[in-house]
Amino acid sequence: MGVVVLALAAGFLTYSLSVGGVATKRGNYEISAKFGEAGSLAPGAAVSVAGVKVGTVSQVTLEPKTYLAVAKLSIDPTVKLPADSTAKITSDGLLGGAHIAIAPGAALDDLKPGGEIENTQGAVDIFGLIGSVIRPQGGASSDAAASSTPAPANPATQPAESY
Amino acid sequence: MAEAEAARRVANPIQVLGRSTLAAVRMVGSVGVFAVRGVAAALTPPWFLSQLWRQIVAIGFFSLPVVGLTAVFTGAALALNIFTGGGRFNAEQVMPQIVALGITRELGPVLAALMLAGRVSAAIAAEIGAMRATEQIDAMRTLSTDPFRYLVGPRLLAGVLMLPLLTAVADTIGVAGGWLVATRVLEFSPTIYIRNTLDFLQAWDVVSGLIKAAVFGFIVALMGCYHGYNASGGARGVGRATTHAVVSSAILIFASDYLLTTFFTHAAQ
């Protein structure tokens, strides 16, 4: 009986690992991407191309000199990404967890293991956006709200752009 | 006479209170001393390796069927209940994650420990109690074999080593039980269920459960040994010892489960 229980447990475990894709993680290659705003991106988040999961975020750290968030992405070796691909942090739902969506570029050469995705788009601060639309701040606020363009909607970026 | 009787009746609740408090304190002290002696015997050579192996087989291997059956039915029932509960706020889809978390953090270790308390703690108490009743423990001491080394140490070690392994099996089978119900009855996709579970579970969810299991294994073996070793009064005493072993290990499992969970929750922050 004990042997049967052990065999069942081992069988289910191997089945899960083969289905869950943890076992195939070993051959993955790693690339990095820098973001101005990582939002709620955390290790373990999915990396997808065209909505299909091709890897995971293995690490999110801060680069001390530039104050950029550096995400290390572990990518399935069968997926070759063009060097000018774009990485974008999006969320699963309106308030769901963050993941990285990669839009493949058109360059002829691929990203090498250890390479970096140059074109990135950080997380969108939804509550910041909502707040700036509801209560616009700053001198140009009335004009900005009236013209209803989303570009100056984030007041935090304005001082940085002004010099 | 009447006055003395009245005085006794007035003093009676106080006496009962004092007597039970003293008994409780004495009990805690003697269990503590017993535990320290047992751990010392378990950790220092010479070891009785054949005894240890016998206990590992008895506690670990032969408990597998009962632990596996408990886990599979618990996982299945948990899946149905969480599906119902999640449905009340349209969150049926998080059922795999909640089942996995509940099994690995709480139900796997606690249920495996409770089954072990019923199966192993009682058996240890009966075995050692019978040896005490037939004066085999005294004979052992006469032959200059330390009963702590020969009887208590191997059982404590086997309990601490085997319950985490049993819990790992219980975790796996419990999730499998939830998976079975989810895919056969509730029409979840088998692969999505497993992928959700694996993506969601963190190493600490499983590891904290295994740490709990090691503590519970110690409690189960300790209570069996303590009550068996201190059994008195022949066959009736042995029966009483098994009952006490099961009841006290079950209570201690729940109490220490709460304490450990509190500790882990604060440590994680």
Residues of B in contact with A46 (CB under 8 A): 199
Assess A53–B contact: CB distance below 8 Å, yes or no. no
Task: Test A8 with B176 for CB contact under 8 angstroms.
Answer: yes
Residue contact B65–A20, C-beta within 8 A: no
* A12/B172 CB distance under 8 A: yes
B9 assigned to some structural domain: no
Q: Is residue A21 predicted with pLDDT exceeding 70?
A: no
Which of the two residues, B188 and A95, has the higher pLDDT score?
A: B188
* Dist CA B75 CA B111 (whole Å): 11
Q: What is the pTM of this model?
A: 0.67
The reply to whether residue A2 touches residue B62, judged by beta carbons under 8 angstroms, is yes
CA distance B168 to chain A (A): 9
Of B57, B165, B172, which to mutate for an interface test with A (greatest number of A Cβ within 10 Å)?
A: B172
Cβ-nearest to A13 among B172, B191, B199: B172
Q: Which of B68, B172, B198 sits opposite A20 (nearest CB)?
A: B198
Alpha carbons A106 and A84: distance in angstroms, whole number: 7
Q: Is the dihedral of CA B232, B238, B240, B245 positive or negative?
A: positive
Secondary structure element (H or E) that encloses residue A101, with its range:
strand A98-103
pLDDT in tens, chain B (269 residues): 567 777 777 778 888 888 889 988 998 999 899 889 888 888 888 878 888 898 888 888 888 899 999 999 999 999 999 888 888 877 777 888 888 899 999 999 999 999 999 989 999 999 998 888 888 888 888 888 888 888 888 899 899 999 999 999 999 999 999 998 988 888 777 777 787 788 788 888 889 999 999 999 999 999 999 998 888 887 888 888 899 899 999 999 999 999 999 998 887 66
* Confidence category of residue A97, pLDDT binned at 50, 70, 90: low
Confirm whether B131 is domain-assigned.
Answer: yes
Q: Is pLDDT above 90 for A148?
A: no
Note the ipTM here: 0.70
In B88-202, alpha helices (H): 95-102, 108-116, 122-133, 136-142, 147, 153-184, 190-200
**Using alpha carbons only, what angle is made at residue B189 by residues B90 and B87, rounded to the nearest 5 degrees?**
15
- Residue A30's SS3 state is strand
Greatest Cα pair distance, chain A, in angstroms, is 77
Contact B154, B55 (CB under 8 A): yes
Cβ pair A6:B169 closer than 8 A: yes
Task: Check residue A107 and give its pLDDT.
Answer: 84
* Residues in chain A within 8 Å Cβ distance of B191: 19
**Inter-chain residue contact A9 with B68, CB threshold 8 Å:** yes
Look at chain B and report how many structural domains it folds into.
1
Q: Which residues of A touch B198 (CB under 8 A)?
A: 16-17, 20, 22
Contact predicate B114/B250, CB 8 Å: yes
Structural domain boundaries enclosing B183: 48-268
CA B91 from centroid of its chain's CA atoms: 33
Angle at B54 between CA B53 and CA B59, to 5 degrees: 100
Q: Is residue B15 part of a domain?
A: no
Higher pLDDT, A151 or B55: B55
| The pLDDT value given to residue B1 | 59
Chain centre distance of CA A36: 12
Helix ranges (H only) for chain A are 2-20, 126-134, 141-147, 158-162
Residue A125 pLDDT more than 70? yes
Using the beta-carbon criterion (under 8 Å), do B176 and A12 form an inter-chain contact?
yes
- A130 shares contact with chain B (CB less than 8 Å): no
Dihedral Cα A106, A110, A113, A118, nearest 10 deg: -30
- pLDDT of residue A159 exceeding 60, the answer is no
Work out the angle at residue B57's Cα, subtended by the Cα atoms of residues B51 and B60, and round it to the nearest 5 degrees.
125
Q: For an interface test with A, which of B198, B202, B205, B206 has the most A Cβ atoms less than 10 Å from its Cβ?
A: B198
Yes or no: say if A99 and A92 are a contact pair by the CB < 8 Å rule. yes
Where residue A25 falls among pLDDT bands split at 50, 70, 90? low
Q: What is the pLDDT of residue A24?
A: 44
The CA-atom distances, in angstroms, between B19 and each of A36, B24, B37, B263 are 69, 9, 27, 33
CB atoms within 10 A of CB B27: 13
Average pLDDT value for chain A: 76
Nearest residue in chain B measured CA to CA from A53: B195
β-strand partners of B269: none
- From the CA of B68, how many Å to the nearest CA of chain A? 6
Let me know if residue B123 belongs to a domain.
yes
Between CA B117 and CA B135 the distance in angstroms is: 25
Per-residue confidence (pLDDT) for residue B269, from 0 to 100: 65
Phi, psi of A106 (to 5 degrees): -120, 5
Point out the residue among B64, B190, B199 whose CB comes nearest to the CB of A1.
B64
What does the buried/exposed string (b/e) look like for B47-64 if buried means 16 or more CB atoms within 10 Å of the residue's CB?
ebeebbeebbebbbbebb
pLDDT of residue B256: 93
Query: For residue B199, what are the contacts with CB-CB under 8 A and spacing of at least 6?
Result: A20, A44, A46
pLDDT at position A120 is 87
Separation of alpha carbons A148 and B117, rounded Å: 68
Q: Which residues of A touch B194 (CB under 8 A)?
A: 15-16, 19-20
Q: Are strands A98-103 and A68-75 parallel, antiparallel or unpaired?
A: unpaired
Q: Does A62 score more than 50 pLDDT?
A: yes
Helix crossing, B153-184 with B2-43: angle to 10°? Answer: 90
CA gap B79, B138 in Å, rounded: 52
Can you name the residues that pair with A47 across neighbouring β-strands?
A: A55, A100
Q: Which residues of B touch A20 (CB under 8 A)?
A: 194-195, 197-199
Tell me the chain B residues in contact with residue A44 when contact means C-beta distances shorter than 8 Å. Answer: 199
Question: Chains A and B: how many Cβ contacts under 8 Å?
Answer: 48
pLDDT at A146 over 60: no
